[in-house]
Structure 1
Amino acid sequence: MALAIGAMTIALGIALVALLAMRRSLSAQALLMAGAHDGIFEWNPLTKELKVGLRLLAILGYADNFLQDTHAWLKIVHPDDRERYNRTVAAHLKGLTDHFYCEYRVRAHNGEYRWLAARGIALRNRQGKASQMAGSVTDITERIEREQQIRDLALNDQLTGLPNRRSLMERLPTAIETARRCGTQLAVLFIDLDRFKNVNDARGHLFGDALLVAITRRLPGALRAYDLLMRQGGDELVVVLTSLGSPAEAALVAERLLELVADPVVIDDSDIRITGSIGVAMFPADGEDADALLRCADMAMYAAKASGGNEVRFFEGEMQARVSARASMESRLRIAIENGDLVLHYQPQCRFADGKLVGAEALVRWQDGAHMIRPDQFIGLAEETGLIVPLGRWVIDSAVEQLARWQSSCVDTLRVSINLSPRQFLRHSVEMDVLAAIARHGVLASRVELEVTESVLFNPEGAALRMLNNLREAGCRVALDDFGTGYSSLSYLQSLDLDCLKIDKSFVANLAGPAGSHGARGSTAIVSAMIVLGRRLGYEVVAEGVETVEQFNWLKATGCELCQGYFFSRPLPAAEFESGFLTLRAGSSSNAAPARAF
């Protein structure tokens, strides 16, 4: 009997110790779940019972613990993440992974989703079946947001907020593959703003940026929610149209985009109008990968620009040949500049009053093998590619060198006019290029006239004006070329330090129109006003493009001072210019008729 009582006492003692140990374990578990920095959870895969710590509830902003089972938890997991979450849990329960880890979104009390990183491990019974899982949950929302910001910086354009070229090259292949799989067509539209560089040159880059942003914000109005609008770079945009049945659908969207681009934009109280050129390439007809489609759309866009802009062009096979020819011309022009395979021709500028030679405009010509290439075939190319900078430097030095030769032959009052491109003023070396050439060849600065267009003078950033003023202070003359065709403001014109206004030949050409015609009346009124304005401001006035006796006589009678055009002579090589004009100049008198050399 005593032995039985002793055995019972020992058993009760063991049970009591076990009970106390269990209570301590439960207390420790409760303490852990209450005090952990990360959220703690315990889950029974068999009964689906779930226990979560107070910290996890606090992370999500819940005061009451309603997360009693799997169903309650899955209800607040983001719908897009549930399948991945369930797959990850199932893989660990089956023993396919050493531990459970998943990053996913869970709805907080305020309705927003927070990113959580959950990690855990399952306790298995003797049969290897998971009977319990425990682990922790960390709030990683800030980390995910930082990563997204970094990704946005890498994939989005910072000015417009649109996806950038890198994003385009990630998303376009996916769109192509979807179109291939679904048997639909896809269009790539390459959009370029016409003469956008002129706006930048005239108004400054901040103004140009504001214009670009305003246009990109309105373009989605022509697109469906699943179409893609991206910024390729500069003023070039790319649109990807998916799920198309025919090219006609792409044409409709492209025309609508042209309309949106052409709608006026108000910036700083200025009403700005600009047009666009759009090139279109179709999948699969024009290419079956992203590079091919972008290349074809780019070629089509340049074809639209070559036609004058504000146009939609679809890719055609012969465009490839034209692009190849353009690339070949660019390469040959680069070599010609490096090798000095260019020549200057000189077109005389004569006084209306007595026909005496006053100066000559230096005009570049390109002798490409046996062929003379016209300026209108390569100057635009030089502007677009940046070759205008080394080309302009060569023109400055060659023209000043020729002037030095004429001055050494006692033709000391002749002046030479040199055209400067707006692009040259973006490189601050143009001022030094002119002054260095004058010093190197020992000419009088007053015999060097620099012709600039209105877009250079009206750049609000002021760098071009400062350089021109410095050159004028050094003794050079400054002429405003193509007057009347650009951005001139009459009030602003008063404040400019100019020596000469050159009336654009487009106005002079209409002077020869039929008597009484609207074009002739308009041109005579405009040109008369230009001449009066120039003289009152103290500027010398030159009429360009004078070709007929009627134009010559009218301009002379109206009081224009200088004449330039085929009425006197086409642009001539230096030797022909000397023999045709410099010898005549030496023997001319105040009563001489206009000297003409054809």
Structure 2
Amino acid sequence: MRKVWLAQRIAQSRCIIAAVLSLAAAGALGVLLARGGHAPAGVTLGIIGLLVLALALTLTALLSMRRSQRAQMLLMEGANDGVFEWDPVSKRLKVGKRLLGILGYEDNFLADTHAWLNIVHPEDRARYNRSVAAHLKGLTDHFYCEYRVLASNGEYRWLAARGMALRNRRGVAVQMAGSVSDITERMVREQQIRDLALNDQLTGLPNRRSLMERLPAAIAAADRGSQQLAVLFIDLDRFKNVNDTRGHVFGDTLLVAMTERLPAALRAYDLLVRQGGDELIVVLPGLYGQAEAVTVARRLLEMIAQPVTVEGSEIQITASIGIALYPQDAQDADGLLRCADIAMYAAKSSGGNEVRLFESSMRERVSARVTMEGRLRRAIENGELLLHFQPQCHFADRRLVGAEALVRWQDGEQMIPPDQFIHLAEETGLIMPLGRWVIDSAVAQLAAWGKLGHHGLRMSINLSTRQFLRNAVDLEVLTAISRHGVGSASIELEVTESVLLNPEGTALRALHALREAGCRIALDDFGTGYSSLSYLQLLELDTLKIDKTFISSLGGAHNLRAGRNAAAIVTAMIVLGHRLGYEVVAEGVENVEQFNWLKAAGCEVCQGYYFSKPLPAASFEAAFLSGAPTAVVSNVA
């Protein structure tokens, strides 16, 4: 009997299950429940039926959610989003046609998790897996991840994936579905913005902001690895002269060409930064001693010194490099940069093209330089500068032609020579007020001598290359001439060859205006700077001054070959000057042999210690102006 009863119940249950499943699939289960739970005709609900009913309710909910998900996926598919369904258990993956179209793959290419992970960018794969795992574990309300995926054309595209897991009553994820958007254009724009913020726009190198983000991390890594780290501060020697004489476009082109070759001297994980202007920073992590840093620095010097062709001209520049080491020199990024900067200035003070390691004693020298700058500024403001005058005379009869005005700095009881502050003035911009003072004071002194009856003298005034950058030096000279009432023909302005190379024409225009006003123009230190013979035709000069480096080898028996070479060069300069219609001045004449040789060679004007060192105005007057206005110059010790 019991067997018969059990068989009947099983058969009845099968009918119930079939009926309930049929109703659930048809969406009519809600109608059944609304009628009070009555089963179809001929079906009686027992305990088993109730259990099956509960199962059917769960199934109905699942089917409803699936229908809702599919509806949403269809909407997203129509909104240009790709869609996906993924089974975390079987690892089966279904992707919509839109996503396949974004990536360019065939329908069956992305069939499972393995195939999908194979095209996720290796650098993003771990982050993607962590995001998926966190959501499957219920740690996040929804899944979201931005990552790169390899498209069929071999390029990576950025995707933003959103999804949500479908969970059973125990909370276990049994299905995950969602959408995928192509965000490549947005990510490219964001990367461009980051590049603008963190990269130098001229060279493409990381900039100072990037350096200050990455250097602390490199220091922390050095701590963890018990290693040293080096910071190299690179400053190009005399690069300002290139910008001043050739223009900033030329300088930028040179800088880009030079920086492009430097990575070849570095390891892949070293950091090369353009801090600004002509300053570069190199960070060398993972070092075991200072010798490694010095080796890299010297290799960089060699690469920088290789000639670069810019606008048809072959240019060679050098650099000064300072090295600071972590942890012995400083313990943070700012400190390392300061120490490397100090060491770089020490290298530059040695003449450039040099590498110097930081030493604690260097701080004192830098402090002294800063102090010197402040003192020079106050000296200009307080009238502590003065002029000395070196006589110029005719070779033929030794009669006085005039004098060259040379600035001196009387600092209390100490007389500071110009080689200790002129370069500092040019670097700091103090050459502008200093130059104005020299121009006005020299013209005023010439006017004072004229009032004493010494007319017809000539005053030579040096102009720095940097004075021409403000487009005002010609006005400063002409204003001084007008203020003090001297003849413009009595003023000779000495410039170096670098001024004539200014491509923007500011120097040439200023010099042309001065010469049109009647001033004389002299080319100073001829032969020591650029190969500027082609530039001589750009400006109608009055005077060519042969540099003392050529004069010093004349008439000396200690080196006959050098003497012969110097004689040939000086002879050629004198002939060239005369052929071009210039007066030729020899500066740095120190002995009678040189004087006699130059006189015989046809040089017109002599200047140097053979007659006199530069003298204060009162001493100059006593030595050269105390007699007749056309006094013959005598040798003055």
TM-score (norm 1): 0.92
The residue identity in structure 2 corresponding to 1:397 is D
Q: 2:577 matched to 1:534?
A: yes
Q: Which position in structure 1 is the counterpart of 2:542?
A: 499
Equivalent of 2:424 in 368, 377, 381: 381
Q: Relative to 1, partners in 2 of residues 1:9 and 1:245: Cα closer, same or farther, differing over 3 Å? A: closer
How far has the Cα of 1:34 moved from its partner? 4.0
Deviates most, 177-186 or 304-313: 304-313
Q: Relative to 1, partners in 2 of residues 1:63 and 1:386: Cα closer, same or farther, differing over 3 Å? A: same
Q: Relative to 1, partners in 2 of residues 1:473 and 1:38: Cα closer, same or farther, differing over 3 Å? A: same
Deviates most, 239-248 or 119-128: 119-128
Q: 2:459 matched to 1:407?
A: no
Q: Which position in structure 2 is the counterpart of 1:232?
A: 275
Is the Cα–Cα contact under 8 Å of residues 261 and 276 in structure 1 kept in the other structure? yes
Q: 2:560 matched to 1:517?
A: yes
Q: Relative to 1, partners in 2 of residues 1:71 and 1:533: Cα closer, same or farther, differing over 3 Å? A: same
Q: Which position in structure 1 is the counterpart of 2:375?
A: 332
Equivalent of 2:26 in 16, 23, 29: 16
Q: 2:85 matched to 1:42?
A: yes
Deviates most, 97-106 or 199-208: 199-208
Q: 2:298 matched to 1:255?
A: yes
Q: 2:147 matched to 1:101?
A: no
Is the Cα–Cα contact under 8 Å of residues 36 and 55 in structure 1 kept in the other structure? no
Q: 2:386 matched to 1:352?
A: no
- 1:581-596 to 2 correspondence within 5 Å? 581-586=624-629, 588=631, 592=632, 594-596=633-635
Provide Cα deviations, 1:81-107, integer angstroms capped at 9, x if missing partner. 122112222223333333322111111
Q: Which position in structure 2 is the counterpart of 1:283?
A: 326
Unaligned 5+ residue runs, structure 1? none
Deviates most, 243-252 or 447-456: 243-252
User: Percent identity of the aligned residues?
Assistant: 71
The residue identity in structure 1 corresponding to 2:97 is L
Deviates most, 34-43 or 502-511: 34-43
Equivalent of 1:218 in 251, 254, 261: 261
Unaligned 5+ residue runs, structure 2? 1-14, 30-59
How far has the Cα of 1:270 moved from its partner? 2.9
Distance in structure 2 (CA, Å) of the matches to 1:582 and 1:154: 65
Is the Cα–Cα contact under 8 Å of residues 222 and 257 in structure 1 kept in the other structure? yes
- 1:17-32 to 2 correspondence within 5 Å? 17-18=27-28, 28=71, 31-32=74-75
Determine helix, strand or coil for the equivalent of 1:425.
helix
How far has the Cα of 1:215 moved from its partner? 2.0
How far has the Cα of 1:364 moved from its partner? 0.8
Q: Relative to 1, partners in 2 of residues 1:96 and 1:258: Cα closer, same or farther, differing over 3 Å? A: same
Higher relative contact order (CA 8 A, sep 6+): 1
Distance in structure 1 (CA, Å) of the matches to 2:74 and 2:297: 66
Q: Which position in structure 2 is the counterpart of 1:292?
A: 335
How far has the Cα of 1:581 moved from its partner? 1.7
Deviates most, 295-304 or 117-126: 117-126
Deviates most, 407-416 or 344-353: 407-416
Q: Which position in structure 2 is the counterpart of 1:188?
A: 231
Distance in structure 1 (CA, Å) of the matches to 2:528 and 2:333: 41
- 1:58-207 to 2 correspondence within 5 Å? 58-207=101-250
Equivalent of 1:456 in 452, 476, 499: 499
Is the Cα–Cα contact under 8 Å of residues 545 and 565 in structure 1 kept in the other structure? yes
Distance in structure 1 (CA, Å) of the matches to 2:527 and 2:24: 108
How far has the Cα of 1:530 moved from its partner? 1.1
Distance in structure 2 (CA, Å) of the matches to 1:560 and 1:419: 21
Provide Cα deviations, 1:427-482, integer angstroms capped at 9, x if missing partner. 11222222222223232222221111000012222221111111111121111010
Distance in structure 2 (CA, Å) of the matches to 1:18 and 1:34: 30
Distance in structure 2 (CA, Å) of the matches to 1:448 and 1:90: 86
Provide the aligned length of Structure 1 versus Structure 2: 588
Q: Which position in structure 2 is the counterpart of 1:368?
A: 411
Provide Cα deviations, 1:503-553, integer angstroms capped at 9, x if missing partner. 111111111421661121111111111111111211111111112122112
Equivalent of 1:305 in 334, 339, 348: 348
Provide Cα deviations, 1:17-49, integer angstroms capped at 9, x if missing partner. 459997986874674354232122233444444
Q: Relative to 1, partners in 2 of residues 1:63 and 1:577: Cα closer, same or farther, differing over 3 Å? A: same
Distance in structure 2 (CA, Å) of the matches to 1:64 and 1:10: 36
Distance in structure 2 (CA, Å) of the matches to 1:547 and 1:495: 33
Determine helix, strand or coil for the equivalent of 1:159.
coil
The residue identity in structure 2 corresponding to 1:80 is E
Is the Cα–Cα contact under 8 Å of residues 81 and 105 in structure 1 kept in the other structure? yes
How far has the Cα of 1:200 moved from its partner? 2.9
Q: Relative to 1, partners in 2 of residues 1:283 and 1:442: Cα closer, same or farther, differing over 3 Å? A: same
Provide Cα deviations, 1:286-310, integer angstroms capped at 9, x if missing partner. 2222222222222222222222222
Is the Cα–Cα contact under 8 Å of residues 120 and 135 in structure 1 kept in the other structure? yes
Distance in structure 1 (CA, Å) of the matches to 2:206 and 2:120: 29
The residue identity in structure 2 corresponding to 1:358 is V
Q: Which position in structure 1 is the counterpart of 2:490?
A: 447
Determine helix, strand or coil for the equivalent of 2:541.
coil
Distance in structure 2 (CA, Å) of the matches to 1:187 and 1:295: 13
Provide Cα deviations, 1:155-200, integer angstroms capped at 9, x if missing partner. 2222222222222222222222111210112222222222223333
Determine helix, strand or coil for the equivalent of 1:511.
coil
Equivalent of 2:252 in 195, 206, 209: 209
Distance in structure 1 (CA, Å) of the matches to 2:531 and 2:485: 35
The residue identity in structure 2 corresponding to 1:88 is S
Larger Rg: 2
Distance in structure 2 (CA, Å) of the matches to 1:13 and 1:297: 82
Deviates most, 454-463 or 438-447: 438-447
Equivalent of 2:317 in 236, 260, 274: 274
Q: Which position in structure 2 is the counterpart of 1:428?
A: 471
How far has the Cα of 1:273 moved from its partner? 2.4
Determine helix, strand or coil for the equivalent of 1:271.
strand
Is the Cα–Cα contact under 8 Å of residues 422 and 431 in structure 2 kept in the other structure? yes
Is the Cα–Cα contact under 8 Å of residues 488 and 517 in structure 2 kept in the other structure? yes
Deviates most, 347-356 or 271-280: 271-280
How far has the Cα of 1:133 moved from its partner? 3.0
Q: Which position in structure 1 is the counterpart of 2:613?
A: 570
Distance in structure 2 (CA, Å) of the matches to 1:533 and 1:367: 40
How far has the Cα of 1:489 moved from its partner? 3.1
How far has the Cα of 1:394 moved from its partner? 1.6
User: What RMSD over aligned residues (CA atoms) do the two structures have, in Å?
Assistant: 2.5
How far has the Cα of 1:10 moved from its partner? 11
Q: Which position in structure 2 is the counterpart of 1:597?
A: 636
Q: 2:432 matched to 1:393?
A: no
How far has the Cα of 1:207 moved from its partner? 2.6
Provide Cα deviations, 1:239-270, integer angstroms capped at 9, x if missing partner. 22222222122222222222222222233443
The residue identity in structure 1 corresponding to 2:437 is W
